[in-house]
């Protein structure tokens, strides 16, 4: 009975953590599309980005995940499109999310633009039986419970920006509140995704005739419904020298971040590391709990980027 109670207690938290992890804060400067459908193609250039992170590396079955996203202008520069794929695993649960996005842009004068983004998403969460160590092989969940589930949803965002100068955006995710049709064998547990609301912004300062740039970015997000309001936030400052390299720092989730990266023509590679602060886990064991790398490829797919080239 005690083992059954622990299963009923822990499993909902694992499922919710897996579902909400689709929209985690990424440590590297991967751009606004990760937090807003209207952030796709925000710099009027095509791009493909891949990122991978590890948390609490020495811990068994610690969370880790990967992100692949891309965006481009369509034949008309007032339209854009994007795709995104998230994968995350932690404990005995895995989660994937695939997203396709359409963006429409309005010119507001002086190179300012107002963009609207709409995404359709596919979500799947499932149990990794290879990581389950069951003391009772006849546990009802393991015998007759569902091992995976999928659902569809959509997201919407709006942004106001000037390419490579500033950006501000608001977005809502999981608008339909997709509900699971699977039977997880958990009494009283509602298998429904929470709605996610995000705000993100960026501002770029130029120094030394543009050879040195200072980029400030900030992101915040919260879920509804939730028993107690919790805001997850992230803020970064990054110095970029002649599109050769960058160094920076930031703060998120009780961690101070270290940012570094280099450019090779239209290709860049970056690293973000988290230094734990104000947390018992980091105090006693994990002083450097997060590592993340990313790759970015820029593509001249819009009329404006081709003209500049």
* Residue-wise pLDDT tens digits, 25-44: 888 888 999 999 999 988 88
Residue 116 phi, psi (nearest 5): -125, 130
48 CB-near residues (< 8 Å, 6+ apart): 68, 69, 70, 296, 297, 299
Q: Hey, what are 20's tokens? A: 């909400």
* Lookup result for tokens 């937090």: 35
Distance CA 26, CA 29 (A): 8
Distance CA 266, CA 243 (A): 10
Per the CB < 8 A criterion, the answer to whether 13 and 7 are in contact is no
pTM higher than 0.85: no
Q: CA 309, CA 298: separation in Å to the nearest integer? A: 12
Work out the average pLDDT over 205-229: 92
Tally of CB atoms within 10 A around 53:
21
Per cent of the chain over pLDDT 70 is: 74
């Amino acid at each position: 009975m005690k083992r059954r109670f622990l299963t009923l207690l822990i499993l909902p938290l694992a499922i919710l953590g897996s579902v909400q992890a689709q929209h985690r804060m990424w440590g590297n400067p991967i751009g606004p599309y990760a937090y807003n459908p209207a952030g796709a193609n925000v710099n009027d250039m095509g791009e493909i980005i891949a990122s991978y992170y590890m948390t609490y590396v020495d811990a068994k079955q610690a969370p880790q995940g990967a992100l692949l996203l891309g965006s481009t202008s369509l034949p008309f520069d007032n339209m854009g499109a994007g795709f995104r794929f998230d994968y995350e695993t932690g404990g005995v649960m895995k989660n994937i999310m695939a997203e396709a996005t359409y963006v429409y842009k309005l010119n507001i004068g002086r190179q300012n633009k107002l963009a609207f983004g709409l995404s359709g998403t596919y979500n799947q969460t499932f149990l990794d039986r290879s990581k389950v160590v069951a003391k009772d092989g006849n546990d009802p969940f393991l015998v007759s419970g569902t091992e995976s589930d999928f659902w569809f949803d959509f997201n919407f965002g709006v942004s106001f920006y000037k390419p490579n100068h500033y950006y501000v955006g608001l977005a809502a995710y999981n608008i339909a509140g997709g509900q699971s049709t699977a039977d997880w064998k958990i009494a009283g547990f509602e298998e429904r995704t929470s709605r996610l609301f995000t705000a993100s912004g960026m501002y770029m300062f130029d120094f030394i005739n543009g050879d040195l740039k200072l980029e400030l970015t900030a992101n915040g997000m919260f879920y509804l419904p939730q028993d107690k309001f919790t805001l997850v936030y992230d803020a970064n400052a990054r110095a970029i020298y002649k599109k050769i390299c960058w160094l920076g720092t930031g703060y998120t989730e009780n961690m101070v971040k270290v940012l570094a990266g280099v450019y090779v023509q239209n290709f860049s590679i970056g690293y973000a590391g988290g230094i734990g602060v104000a947390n018992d886990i980091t105090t006693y064991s994990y002083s450097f709990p997060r590592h993340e790398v990313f790759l970015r490829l820029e593509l001249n797919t819009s009329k404006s980027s081709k003209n500049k080239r």
